[in-house]
Structure 1
Amino acid sequence: MKYLFSILIIGTMLMSACSNNAKEQALIKQQAIVAVKDSLKLDSFKKAEIKKQEDAKIAAQVKEEKRTLLLAEQNEAASHPSANQNSEAPTPAKKKGWSDAAKGTVIGAGAGAIGGALIDKKHGRGAIIGGVVGAGAGYLIGRDKDRKSGRVQPKN
């Protein structure tokens, strides 16, 4: 593209050097530059529109696949009613790693200990109290996140 512009500009300069109508040539040169800039803008808008259409197609395909899977699961459940009656609710697979409750406890204890040490004049006492309070608050917040994510069954 840069080479095209360079050739276009050099060509217009050579043409203007050969004629006596400098003002007309300058106008033609200016119009050519404007036309090239407009074509580049139009090209970028076309690319953006094509990308938008492709994204919409992909989203529609994903939505259709989800719907198909859901219908297949419903049909399978409907075709095997005795299997669902005999078994209790399926137990979710055990998740690996730290739970949100454990993470919250550790983060809350650390933050509470630092905060307590900074606030209280007796740093040791403040760190202990802040750590205990922070750990309790962090645990409660993390446990709530675990319930929402499905890692822990909510209380009835």
Structure 2
Amino acid sequence: MLTGEIIWEFGQNTMSVSPELAERLGFERTSAHAVEITSFRDRVVREDLVVLYERMSRSFLRSEPMVNVYGLHLADGTVRRVRSLSQWKMSDAGQPTLYTASIAEVQSRLHSGIEDEFIERMIDLRFLAERAEDDRYRQIVDRMLREIWTHRRPT
């Protein structure tokens, strides 16, 4: 299974990629701490780039975590679908400092676009509930998300 971490210090031309992920993508393990951003971008399936960039921009503007599903070209010539959970870290002044992402290969065929959009909106709702003074909103959304993840069947 393909898994890994990405850390990008805002403004730098390189990012750190966990050594195992770097190797699977065709980068040297020894240079995993300095992978060119454009080199990583070139591993993303081209059709997925526009949506990925749009969601990254939205996450940046809101300073909220995001979930993305996209394809990565591996060094062996195969393409693997991955789900990433990422977030921008901000300074006290509200400026971006760090982008972090955890990546895991999607093990089953993806569900319909409607299901994926529903889950994305639930996650957005979860972050909105986090800002509410009344904890019950967060608890309700958390229960719904647990129910979705527990009962969502692989197709």
TM tier, shorter chain?
Answer: under 0.3
**Which is greater in Rg?**
1
Q: With structure 2 as the length reference, what TM-score do the two structures score?
A: 0.20
Task: Name the structure where helix makes up a greater proportion of residues.
Answer: 1
Q: With structure 1 as the length reference, what TM-score do the two structures score?
A: 0.20
